[in-house]
Amino acid sequence: MKKNLSIILCVTLMLSMFAGCGSSFYGDAAENGGTASEETGATEEETMTEDATASGDGTKEEDTTESAGASVSEVVKADFSKDDADMFTDRDLESSYNESESIRIRLNGTSATASADSVKISGTTITITEEATYVITGTLDDGGILVETDDTAKLQIVLDGVTINSENTAPLYVRSADKVFVTLADGTENILSNGGVFEAIDENNIDGVVYSKQDLTFNGSGTLTVTSPVGHGIVCKDDLVFTGGTYTVTSASHGLEANDSVRIANASITIDAGKDGIHAENAEDASLGFVYISSGTMDIEAEGDGISAGAYVQMQDGTIKLLTGGGYENGTSKSSASYGGFKGSGKQRRPSDRTMPEKNKTGTMTLKAGNSDMTSKEEATDSEASDGESTSMKGLKAVSGILISNGSITIDSADDAIHSDTSVTIHGGTFEMASGDDAVHAEDTLTITGCNMNISKSYEGLEAQKLYVKGGTIVLHATDDGLNASGGTDSSGITGGRDGMFGGGKRSSGNGVIEISGGDLTIYASGDGLDSNGTLTISDGSIYVANPTAGDTSIIDADVSPVITGGTFISTGATTMMAQTFASSSSQGVITCTTGTQSEGSAVTVKDSNGNSVISYDVEYSCEMVIISCPDIVKGDTYTLTVGGTSGSVQAD
């Protein structure tokens, strides 16, 4: 919370009664005629840090610090001009297929059969080598599907009641193709799982149950369950697209990971992730690594971020529910000791407490204790966390911007609920948020033109260097400031004023902006209601602020004298040494009065000289001061102010 070093105490006209007013099967396949495709520009495992080391099971352990966009030196301005027509092809959206013209693959536990020579079978390794539609049924106890076609091939894989487990690699591996469409057949249940080890079988670092080097689309109307006791759930090194189906992903690391983008429409996705729920990041191109949500339902529980984009997040519609870092109650902890653990809950667990699902032959789920490789990795992760490394546990996070146009968003996060290193723009949607830090935080600009937003818990409600509220209905509760134009960095930016006096902070840069030109805001703040390290102007809208009397807080606090030219502003708070009101240069009349201590429930009314009611409201916290302004309050006119059972005359400034 920032306070002015140049203290302004504004108390207006006196009322007599008041104090004052105013073993790799894919490796075998390669040896039997398959050739590994070369890397196409991107380095292997682009989202890994350079110092990632190979673990005992062949996987790489990622750095647990925030990294979205960290390897890209320049932030590229987000391109929000694209829509569904740009993001999804007709074939992405089309899940039909001609079964009579399809190639059939039958899995038989420890063997398989196929109806065409384009399918090469070696033990439990099934290699698809040509463009076609492949319908797969049955079970593999320890094996997988390898796609290795020409780089111009577009092929469709239909999962028609498939259960595949691979003990040491990915049960579905797209090594080479142009694009692969995975269709979940209507009414079918499909299961893909890994046994807890990812062994290196070629130059690619396979670290997901589904691992694709090429564009990958999931569609259809069936279900897919993905279980990854180590590593990620679904990994795509290009564009990862969902346009239908129901998915349940449980992973020790990221649930969904893509280099170029994650695009979602009409799908239902449930994720329980030891790191980020959805993670998109491209270390070489800052314009890529974005998340686009057109519609669908996402329910994500993550030890790290719920949705993290190295570029931008664009949400057109849909329903999102995010629980990150164990929720707002863990907000005082800036790192999670169990980050990267399988099915974490935000609370530290010993490795011996961990369990991982294992599919049995009937397709149901049983549990067994985590293996020694998992334990070794987790102990290392716990050690890293204890050394003070910080884990990002935000709800919705992006580097180059966030645009939300519609939809329903529920977030319970240990860190910021919505966070951008640049801008956040909200045009509509319904929000229910509880945050251990800020509810909505933008390092540069936060713009709200419409929404229905309820913030039940936050450190600061809305924070940005430049904060514009133009519409919407917002109710927020904050243990510090309600709206804060900090001009600083995350975790409430730089300190100054009172915080600087007690903590040696530095002065505000004074470039903060709060502009309210519409909307309906209700602010319950234990710190300042509106706090700008710069300017504060109100030209329209309805603003209600209720501050407690405890501590050194202020209803409004700005480096530059705040101005009101329109709208309705009603508030109650404390008369501290930092108390501030609107500047006398405001074109709309303002009543500012110290009232003595008034108890919760006291009625506040303002009547004009003819006895007509202008404003009335009840005190929700005990208070010592009121600031009131609305278009019906005229500068220089005299009004009757009643607080509790006491009345008096006051002239509007």
Tens digit of each residue's pLDDT (9 = 90 or more) over 574-618: 776 567 899 989 999 999 988 777 778 889 999 999 999 999 998
Same domain assignment for residues 108 and 204: yes
Q: Please report the pLDDT score of residue 549 as a whole number.
A: 60
Same domain assignment for residues 473 and 346: no
Q: Please report the pLDDT score of residue 570 as a whole number.
A: 95
Q: Is residue 12 part of a domain?
A: no
Same domain assignment for residues 316 and 226: yes
Same domain assignment for residues 409 and 483: no
Q: Please report the pLDDT score of residue 578 as a whole number.
A: 65
Same domain assignment for residues 269 and 142: yes
Same domain assignment for residues 371 and 505: no
Q: Token digits for 557?
A: 């606090």
Same domain assignment for residues 287 and 356: yes
What Å distances lie between residue 287 and 122, 331, 425, 578, CA to CA? 41, 31, 18, 45
Q: Is residue 303 part of a domain?
A: yes
Same domain assignment for residues 412 and 479: no
Given 419, 452, 471, the domain boundary residue is: 419
Q: Name residues of the chain where pLDDT drops below 70.
A: 1-74, 332-390, 487-509, 548-551, 576-578
Given 560, 592, 624, the domain boundary residue is: 592
Same domain assignment for residues 333 and 476: no
Residue 316's domain comprises 76-419
Q: Is residue 588 part of a domain?
A: yes
Q: Please report the pLDDT score of residue 294 as a whole number.
A: 98
Q: Please report the pLDDT score of residue 361 as a whole number.
A: 28
Per DSSP, the residues of 579-604 read -----TT-SS-EEEEEEEEE-TT-EE
Which amino acid, one-letter code, is at 358? Answer: E
Q: Is residue 455 part of a domain?
A: no
Q: Please report the pLDDT score of residue 70 as a whole number.
A: 39
**Prediction pTM value:** 0.82
Same domain assignment for residues 378 and 315: yes
> Within a 13 Å sphere around the CA of 144, how many CA atoms are in the beta-carbon half?
29
Q: Please report the pLDDT score of residue 644 as a whole number.
A: 87
Q: Is residue 229 part of a domain?
A: yes
Q: Is residue 47 part of a domain?
A: no
Q: How many domains does the chain have?
A: 2
**Residues with Cβ within 8 Å of residue 42, at least 6 apart in sequence:** 237, 259, 282, 283, 284
Same domain assignment for residues 271 and 352: yes
Same domain assignment for residues 211 and 309: yes
Of 126, 194, 197, nearest to 165 by C-alpha is 194
Given 538, 564, 592, the domain boundary residue is: 592
Q: Is residue 306 part of a domain?
A: yes
Q: Is residue 191 part of a domain?
A: yes
Q: Please report the pLDDT score of residue 646 as a whole number.
A: 82
What Å distances lie between residue 485 and 213, 498, 538, CA to CA? 43, 16, 14
